[in-house]
Structure 1
Amino acid sequence: MAGKKVVRYRRKPKAAAIIFGIVLVYIVCFIVIYVSKAKVQTYEVEVGSLMNNASFTAVALRQEEVYNSSYSGDINYYQREGTRVMTGDTVYTVDETGRVSDILAQYTSGDGNALSDENLTVIKNTLTNYKTEYADSGFSAVYDLKSDLNATVLQSINENIMANLDSIVASTGSQDLFKTAKSDKPGIVVYSVDGYEGVTEETIGSVDFKKKSYDKQSLKSEKLITASDPAYKLITSENWTLMFPITQSDIDKYSLSSKDTLSIKFTKDNITGTFPFKIVNDGKNSYGEITLSKYMIRYATERFLDIEIIVSGKSGIKVPVSAVTENEFYKIPKEYLITNGEKGDYGFLVEQSDSDGKLNQVFKAVDIYKSNDEAVYIKKTELAAGTGIIRMDSSDRFVVGPVEKLRGVYCVNTGYTVFKLVEVIDGNNEYYILKQSLSHGVSIYDRIILDADKYSENEMIY
């Protein structure tokens, strides 16, 4: 026994260890794939509608009267543009002699002519509004700001001068320091003319909508005025009109012919409202006419206004445009479709070879994804390309092969992609509105893939 050698044999791995190793490798691989795989973006389907707003540029027509100056000389405005004046309010003065500036400099140097709290509040609000609305593209607003501030100061000075006119005349020996122009009726004062003051709903034409050729003359920038030159404009009514050109396509698309009111949004500041509307025609062109009785003072200085017609779109299933893709389906003439008398399944009589190579006609049930009066559509996995289909009670034969692309989305409720059909009834650049209760279609609360073009059917994503 002592001379015998002891040989050790390696133990064979136990089955449990092998299984554990396989599972461990699988888990590691799964984690690596999961971490490295791009995160799938999904969207929960909901019911909604679209706001298909239509944009137009409208011309504002108002009751406007232009007032010409009766004097020549230095002109100073006493009312801020776009404010309401009453009958008898001083709008501007004209210095015919050139002496007023010197007299005002002497008179206004005292402490008694400081701006009132009301005037200071107006100046503060003017500066605040300018800061809020300023844009580099509208640098001309700087000149409007200057004119508004100047008008506020002049109005304060004018009030003090008028209140103490006798003492000023006595101390300076000057009569008729300047010519004063007062408003003869109430209205909104505007310091510009553009030739549209006489245009009405009956006389407007296509040439009036050419914004590029529009010429607006600012009166506030003039220091000197000549007798008979325009001095200011007065808007005498709160009622005004917006006119904009429309085509027959616009009328049909937005159902304008059936509307007597229209909801619009002013693009400049997002003010919205619903107003009386009608379509007018001058024999050559059609125009939309919106009648307003408010907001006139808000846009009193503007002739062209960008507006949007607020149009409520159709309601249905709402999905992002990026979620819709296309898949190929076999297209088969509908007359080849039959039903199984026993179960009522839909299908076709297909040619099938037996073990002896003999062709037999066999009923093959299929899932019809879509049908119309001419054809039915089935998945390409249902039948092989080249399969012969026999028409019932006829010798007509159709070979499976022609395809057509159908639109749909990938539903991922089960963790892998399932193609579901869609029928778009409305849409814009961001969303589609889909028909509800569509066979093999998407349903509310389904989770669908956002970037559908990056995936294919039956692809596992979780």
Structure 2
Amino acid sequence: MASKKNSNRYLKLKSETSQKTEATKHLNFGVFVFVLILAYLVFIMISFAIKEKVNYTIAELGTLSHSNTFTGLVIRNESVTTADSAGEIRYFLAEGARVRNTNTVCGVISNADYVALLDDEIFKANQKLDSSDASFKDSYGYLQNRIKNYVINQHNKKFDHTYTVRKQLENDISDIRNTVIVQQRSLGLSDSSNIDMLEKELGNSISMHKATSSGLVSYLIDGMEDITTESFEISDLGRTPKIQDTVSKSNISVGQPIFKVVDNYLWHIVAEIDPESAKLLENMNYKTIHFVEKNIEIVAKIHVFTEDNKTYIKIEADRMLNEFLNERFVDFRIIHENHQGIKIPESAIVRKTFAVIPAQYFGYLSSQYGVYKKVVSEEAPGDSTIDFTSTRLFLKVDDFVYVPISDSIQIGDVLSFTDSDSMVTTEFIIEKTEDLDGVYVVNKGFADFKFIDTTYKEVDYRIVAPYTPYGVRIYDRIATEGITTTEYQTIN
């Protein structure tokens, strides 16, 4: 009986030991997997940390212009109005507003205190008139609903619809106001008559100044408004504007300029130009003009003339005057040609040396491109072997290919080619090299040289062809600073 009990105890102990061993094996495997994953994550983090950060730009289509920049004098048809009395001035129109002949622009108040009193009395009379009208609340509610409906529904309308609604509201207010006044007068009430009397007295107390012609109103006077296309002299290009902002003055004296009206039909620019530009403009009547500061382009009529052995251009424009209403001198460019393509910063350009070899010597072996190169044996002088050397093809022009000069491809190397039909072997010695411009494309996480075909360049940018074989393509990511980037450098 005791022997059987000992046997059971032994089996139980053996089973427990076996279970512990299995558990230990599972634990050791789990720890191993955890350590493996942790090591992989650490490797990824270290690799990411040691990658150099390279700024890049996206290769996008752009335009560069062959142009020359000049500074020109703006000549407009301007009429200046001066004050015929002294006092406080009030302006009724905004800068640049369009006016018609006889439109009131401003008024000069000789007795400001008296006018302020009249304003206050008119305001009180209007309030009394509104409160006496039983339909005023209904009219006010009607206008509120009009505005509310516009706010709710305006997202379905074009922006210019705002001006239509504004005009409609102004007409509604005017109609309501006139209705109240007519009702007052028909009832023989004195409130409307009192307002008429006060407004008439107010008008008599203000010296109104009207526009003498149609155009754009401006309150900046620079003393050069007297220049016209007929009176212009070359010396006018050296004059300095003396700007007066009439709006900033609260009081005005007799004879002081208070505003000017600019004819908004034709305006001109006169500037001195260089002989090269003059030659490019020969026999031309119209040219594209680009205004540098405002980044605006217009097509304008031009006339080139010579005076005192110097060449000048007169530009005649019939649009965009409002953009230059207060400019007396402007910087502009005469656009001779527009060049379109991929626009790349000049700082991204790098230069790489290539060996130029016949295309027949460039081949394919075991999933790799390269050349067969004659290699002299170091152990047995005079003996040589033909080895396949892998390399990349960067450009193919006619019957020649461009492969990069490297440790494996050098000037003086002998290449071998065996014709598969005739089995005749020929050799070619690398002698000719050529430097090609390119950029480093970083799409794949490393700097990869790509050839570019430049069509036009300036100081800071150049235009390259967008569809060049083996070259840069639209939306490639390009290293901005090519000089600080090395080929095959990993990119963060």
TM-score normalised by L of structure 1 = 0.56
- Partners of 2:57 and 2:82 in 1: CA distance: 66
Alignment partner of 2:318 out of 273, 287, 292: 292
- Partners of 1:167 and 1:342 in 2: CA distance: 98
SS in structure 2 at match of 1:407: strand
Consecutive unaligned residues of structure 1, counting only runs of 5 or more, are 1-16, 118-159, 170-175, 391-396
2:77 is equivalent to residue 63 of structure 1? yes
- Report the equivalent of 1:238: 265
SS in structure 1 at match of 2:228: coil
- Report the equivalent of 1:197: 225
The 5-angstrom pairing of residues 49-448 of structure 1 reads 49-50=62-63, 52=65, 58-68=72-82, 71=84, 73-74=86-87, 76-77=89-90, 79-80=92-93, 81-90=95-104, 100-101=111-112, 103-112=114-123, 164=197, 168=201, 182-201=210-229, 204=232, 207-209=235-237, 213-219=240-246, 221=249, 223-226=251-254, 230=257, 232-248=259-275, 260-262=286-288, 264=290, 267=293, 272=296, 274-283=298-307, 284-287=310-313, 289-293=315-319, 295-297=320-322, 299-305=324-330, 313-319=338-344, 321=346, 323-329=348-354, 357-358=381-382, 378-381=403-406, 387=412, 405-411=435-441, 417-427=447-457, 432-436=462-466, 438=468, 440-443=470-473
- Partners of 1:180 and 1:25 in 2: CA distance: 86
1:289-345 alpha-carbon deviations (Å, 9 max, x no partner): 14124x445654443456677898433345555543233446xxx8xx6686999x9
Consecutive unaligned residues of structure 2, counting only runs of 5 or more, are 1-28, 131-192, 364-368, 416-427
User: Relative to structure 1, is the Cα distance of residues 246 and 388 closer, same or farther in structure 2, using a 3 angstrom cutoff?
Assistant: same
Q: What's the CA shift for 1:110? A: 1.8
* Rg (Cα) greater in structure: 2
2:487 is equivalent to residue 457 of structure 1? yes
Contact 1:410 1:452 in 2 (8 A): yes
- Partners of 1:413 and 1:181 in 2: CA distance: 67
SS in structure 2 at match of 1:61: strand
1:367-408 alpha-carbon deviations (Å, 9 max, x no partner): 7756999x9965222766674779xxxxxx9997x9775322
User: Relative to structure 1, is the Cα distance of residues 87 and 313 closer, same or farther in structure 2, using a 3 angstrom cutoff?
Assistant: closer
Q: Which has the higher helix share?
A: 2
User: Relative to structure 1, is the Cα distance of residues 247 and 165 closer, same or farther in structure 2, using a 3 angstrom cutoff?
Assistant: farther
User: Relative to structure 1, is the Cα distance of residues 319 and 89 closer, same or farther in structure 2, using a 3 angstrom cutoff?
Assistant: closer
1:396-426 alpha-carbon deviations (Å, 9 max, x no partner): x9997x9775322334667654433223223
- Partners of 1:292 and 1:286 in 2: CA distance: 20
- Partners of 2:401 and 2:361 in 1: CA distance: 20
2:48 is equivalent to residue 35 of structure 1? yes
- Partners of 2:480 and 2:200 in 1: CA distance: 81
SS in structure 2 at match of 1:50: strand
Contact 1:191 1:231 in 2 (8 A): yes
User: Relative to structure 1, is the Cα distance of residues 86 and 385 closer, same or farther in structure 2, using a 3 angstrom cutoff?
Assistant: closer
User: Relative to structure 1, is the Cα distance of residues 317 and 252 closer, same or farther in structure 2, using a 3 angstrom cutoff?
Assistant: farther
- Partners of 1:161 and 1:341 in 2: CA distance: 106
Contact 1:426 1:433 in 2 (8 A): yes
Contact 1:350 1:387 in 2 (8 A): no
Q: What's the CA shift for 1:216? A: 2.2
Question: Partner amino acid for 2:115?
Answer: L
Contact 1:85 1:189 in 2 (8 A): yes
Contact 1:338 1:348 in 2 (8 A): no
1:218-273 alpha-carbon deviations (Å, 9 max, x no partner): 4553835345x5454333453323445544566789x89867252646845x6x56
User: Relative to structure 1, is the Cα distance of residues 190 and 327 closer, same or farther in structure 2, using a 3 angstrom cutoff?
Assistant: closer
- Partners of 2:105 and 2:491 in 1: CA distance: 74
- Partners of 1:279 and 1:410 in 2: CA distance: 46
User: Relative to structure 1, is the Cα distance of residues 411 and 257 closer, same or farther in structure 2, using a 3 angstrom cutoff?
Assistant: farther
SS in structure 2 at match of 1:62: strand
Compute the RMSD of aligned alpha carbons: 5.8
Equivalenced residue count is 373
User: Relative to structure 1, is the Cα distance of residues 357 and 177 closer, same or farther in structure 2, using a 3 angstrom cutoff?
Assistant: closer
- Partners of 2:105 and 2:490 in 1: CA distance: 77
Q: What's the CA shift for 1:278? A: 1.8
- Partners of 1:32 and 1:56 in 2: CA distance: 55
SS in structure 2 at match of 1:63: strand
Contact 1:266 1:307 in 2 (8 A): yes
1:15-55 alpha-carbon deviations (Å, 9 max, x no partner): xx9xx999889847743532323366686975622255977
- Partners of 1:299 and 1:234 in 2: CA distance: 14
Contact 2:278 2:304 in 1 (8 A): no
SS in structure 2 at match of 1:35: helix
1:348-368 alpha-carbon deviations (Å, 9 max, x no partner): 998957866449999999977
1:428-461 alpha-carbon deviations (Å, 9 max, x no partner): 6775432355464334566655554444334566
Q: What's the CA shift for 1:217? A: 3.5
- Partners of 1:329 and 1:178 in 2: CA distance: 84
1:145-170 alpha-carbon deviations (Å, 9 max, x no partner): xxxxxxxxxxxxxxx9996389859x
Contact 1:79 1:189 in 2 (8 A): no
Contact 1:338 1:346 in 2 (8 A): no
User: Relative to structure 1, is the Cα distance of residues 177 and 167 closer, same or farther in structure 2, using a 3 angstrom cutoff?
Assistant: closer
SS in structure 1 at match of 2:406: coil
